[in-house]
Amino acid sequence: MKKYRNAYVIFPSELLKEIQKYVSGGMVYIPAPEGTRKQWGENSGGKRMLSLRNEEIRCHFASGMTIDELCSQYCLSSDSIKKIVYNRSKPAKAASD
C-alpha cells in the first residue's frame, strides 16, 4: 500500500497555494497519467495465474474430462467452467509477455 506524502514536500509553494483554494486539510487522490496504469492482476501475478489455470482447464476438457469433473477439481461452478472451455477467443495475454 502506498503511503501518503506531505504536499509541502512534493509541490512548489505556488502550486500548493492554488490547490489549497480547492481542498484545504483534506486528502486528494491523484491518478496516474492515462496509459501508465497497470491492468488488474499485473502486479500480483493474479492475471497470469488465472490465464494458466484456464488454459489447463481447456486442455483437460479437450482430453475428455467432463464439466462436472472439472467443477470438482477446480472448485468452480459449471457456468464458470463452461465460460472457460467454450470461449473461442485467444487466452488472455500473460502479464510478462
State the residue for C-alpha cell 510478462. Answer: 96
CB neighbours of residue 75 within 10 Å? 7
The predicted structure's pLDDT at residue 12: 95
The predicted structure's pLDDT at residue 45: 82
Mean pLDDT of 6-15: 92
Q: Quick check: is 33 in a domain?
A: no
**CA-to-CA distance for 62 and 49, rounded, in angstroms?**
20
- Using one digit for the tens of pLDDT, what is the confidence trace for 87-96? 865 554 544 4
The predicted structure's pLDDT at residue 38: 75
Grid cell digits, residue 79? 457456468
**CA-to-CA distance for 62 and 81, rounded, in angstroms?**
13
Q: Quick check: is 53 in a domain?
A: yes
Q: Quick check: is 72 in a domain?
A: yes
Domain that holds residue 54: 46-86
- Using one digit for the tens of pLDDT, what is the confidence trace for 16-31? 999 999 988 888 888 8
Grid cell digits, residue 20? 489549497
Q: How many domains does the chain have?
A: 1
Q: Quick check: is 56 in a domain?
A: yes
**CA-to-CA distance for 79 and 84, rounded, in angstroms?**
9
Q: Quick check: is 50 in a domain?
A: yes
Strands (E), the chain: none
